[in-house]
Structure 1
Amino acid sequence: MQLYNKLSAKERAALLDEAGEDRLTLSFYQYAKIGNPDLFRNHLFITWDQMEVLGRIYVAHEGINAQLSLPAKRFDEFKNFLDGIWFLENVRLNIAIEHDVKSFLKLKVKVRDKILADGLNDATFDVTNKGVHVDAEKFNKLLEDPNTVLVDMRNHYESEIGHFQGAVTPDVDTFRDSLSIIEEDLKDHKEDKNLVMYCTGGIRCEKASAYYKHKGFKNVFQLEGGIIEYARQVQNLNLENKFVGKNFVFDHRRGERISEDVISSCHQCGKPCDTHVNCANEACHLLFIQCGECSEKMNECCSNNCRDIAALPYEEQKALRKGKGNSNKIFKKGRSEVLTYKR
């Protein structure tokens, strides 16, 4: 019985091209008590592999977090499968604004300690005691209230290319870093301010809102469905769009345009740009922002050194990587010292 992906990304990409079918990109999450995450993981993989689902899915005792794509023609089959699982019936599905048949190239279903790493070890913290969910219209009204503090619960490289007007955008690398920083910054306003949070699809706010309620904040709100659902409601209901720029997404697209504003700059030359790329040197793979001119000049690399390595024959590149772990540049996400403009 096949329980793991057996095709390479290149092989899968060729099959997708050959199929020529429309695919939907979507995400969902749900906090729930799962007794046997390993068994549940295998059940998901076997079923979704047969449905030609591709994506990145995390399962833990606390629930499920999924980003995936599937053939558009199999959406009803997929939805019926979810509705047959007691804690996933009618779960919110955040369907992407922009689709790409190659948004995911492998099916990876992994068991983790948590579906969202938070660094918390507090047994009295109840993740289900969450804040008030608000839709796009109520969210916009809250932003007009002078007693509202709007906080972006995403990381620096996400908010760099797009965020809501007037939002606090913490300069953090991980979700776990943001929790204590925001609590400290707002500790004097636990009762007199509306704490309103947003993230990509809602999962980070779901946990953060429960955390801040646990810490004594009285008026806690979160944008239901995150930026993805907000953009859809703004378009369908003809509401004012208060988001500027792109919404960073965790698949091969790397971003969905929400407004025409370009609020960030190329990390190499400083020109307006909001296109994230990975360095073409596989030993580096740094995520950074690069404009078309710099991409051509640098051969899709972050530095002259990486450009020289990427120009070598593949076997020579492999020899250079042999015995070495991935460069920790891979985790810096736009902060590397080789990015001259950023420095």
Structure 2
Amino acid sequence: MQLYNTLSAKEREELIEQANQERLTISFYKYAHIGNPQIFRNHLFIHWNELDVLGRIYVAHEGINAQLSVPAPNFEAFKKHLDSISFLENVRLNIAIEQDNKSFLKLKVKVRKKIVADGLNDRSFDVTNKGVHVNAEEFNKLIDDPDTILVDMRNHYESEIGHFQNAITPDVDTFRDSLDIIEKDLAEHKEDKKLVMYCTGGIRCEKASAYYKHKGFKQVYQLEGGIIEYARQVQQLKLENKFKGKNFVFDHRRSERISEDVISHCHQCGEPCDTHVNCANEACHLLFIQCESCAEKMDQCCSDNCKEINALPYEEQKKLRKGKEASNKIFKKGRSEVLKFKR
């Protein structure tokens, strides 16, 4: 029985083009108690592979986190299967504002220790004891309240290209880095302020809201469905859009534009720009912000050294990479010293 991908990304891309079907980019999550994540993982792969679902899905004892692409004609069958799973019945699905048929090119369902890495080992912490969920209209009212503290629970490279007005945007590389920093910085407001959080689709905020309740914060709220659902509700209900710039997403699109504001800059020349790219040198692959002018000048590379390597014949590049581990700077997301105008 097939429980893994058999096609390369290129082969899948060709099949998508041949099928000529609209695909929907969807994300959802659910914190739940899953007894055997491996069996559940296999169950999902078997059923979703049959429906030509592609994406990146994490399963753990604490629940599921899914970002995927499904052919529009198969959506009802996909939803029916979700509803057949007790804890996923009527789960909220975040449908992307900007669609791309090639947002995902493989189906990867992986078992992890946690669906959101948090670095916590506190067994008395109950992730299902979450804060108050608010919709876009309620959120707008809350963040206008002077007694509210608004916190972006995403990483620095996400908030750099887009965030809500007056939000605290921690300069962190990972979600686990932000938890203790925020608690320490806001400790004196556990009793008197409303702590309101947001993230991409809600999964990080939900865990954070439960954590901060556990740590003694009395008024904890989160934006339900995150920025993705907020943008949909703003469009549908004609609400004031308080989000500026782009929403970073974790697929081939890299971002969705929520407003026309460009709040970040090219990491190489400093001009206004909010387009994330990966360095064309496969041995580097650094994620950074690059404008069209610099992309042309640098051959889509982050540095002169990478530009020189990328210009070599492919076989020579492979020889240079042989036996070398990927540099940690790949994961610094724009913090590399080669970037003159990094944040």
TM, length-normalised to structure 1: 0.99
Q: Find out whether 1:49 has 2:52 as its counterpart.
A: no
Contact 1:135 1:230 in 2 (8 A): yes
Quote the residue 1:244 is aligned against.
Answer: 244
Q: Does 1:122 align with 2:126?
A: no
Q: Cα deviation per residue 1:248-282 (whole Å; 9 max; x = unaligned)?
A: 00000000000000000000000000000000001
Which residue number in structure 2 is paired with residue 31 of structure 1?
A: 31
Structure 2 SS opposite 1:234:
helix
Letter in 2 for 1:195: L
Instruction: State the 1:61 CA deviation.
Output: 0.5
Task: Name the structure 2 match of 1:98.
Answer: 98
Equivalents in 2 of 1:308, 1:16: separation in Å? 34
Structure 2 counterparts to residues 61-76 of structure 1, below 5 A: 61-76=61-76
CA deviation after TM superposition for structure 1 residue 342, in Å: 2.0
Residue 318 (structure 1) aligned with residue 318 (structure 2): yes
Question: Where does residue 260 of structure 1 map in the other structure?
Answer: 260
Q: Indicate whether 1:294 and 2:294 are aligned.
A: yes
- In structure 2, what residue type is equivalent to 1:318? K
Letter in 1 for 2:192: D
Query: Are the aligned partners of 1:285 and 1:329 in contact in 2 as well (CA < 8 Å)?
Result: no
How many residue pairs match? The answer is 343
**Residues in 2 aligned to 1:14 and 1:292: alpha-carbon distance in whole angstroms:** 27
Which residue is equivalent to 2:190? 190
Per-residue deviation at 1:42?
Answer: 0.6
Moved more, 9-18 or 64-73: 9-18
Map 1:219-230; keep pairs closer than 5 Å. Answer: 219-230=219-230
Deviations 1:283-333 (A, max 9, x none): 000000000010011111100111111111111111110011112121010
DSSP-derived class of the 2:88 partner? coil
Q: Which 5+ residue runs of structure 1 have no aligned equivalent?
A: none
Q: Which residue of 2 aligns with 1:150?
A: 150
Aligned to 2:86, what secondary structure does the other structure show? coil
SS for the counterpart of 2:210 is helix
Query: In structure 2, what is the equivalent of residue 209 of structure 1?
Result: 209
TM-score by length of 2: 0.99
Aligned to 1:331: 331
SS in 1 for 2:99: coil
Q: Is the 8 A contact 1:57 1:109 kept in 2?
A: yes
| Matched residue SS, 1:45 | helix
CA drift of 1:341 comes to 2.0
What is the letter of the counterpart of residue 92 of structure 2?
A: R
Q: Which amino acid aligns with 2:303?
A: S
**Cα RMSD (Å) of the superposition?**
0.7
CA contact (8 A) 1:279 1:286 kept: yes
- Tell whether the 8 Å contact from 1:149 to 1:196 is kept in structure 2 after alignment: yes
Q: Which amino acid aligns with 1:320?
A: L
Mind listing any 5+ residue stretches in structure 2 that lack a counterpart? none
Deviations 1:33-60 (A, max 9, x none): 1111001101111111111111000000
Confirm or deny that 1:161 pairs with 2:197. Answer: no
One-letter amino acid matched to 2:310:
A
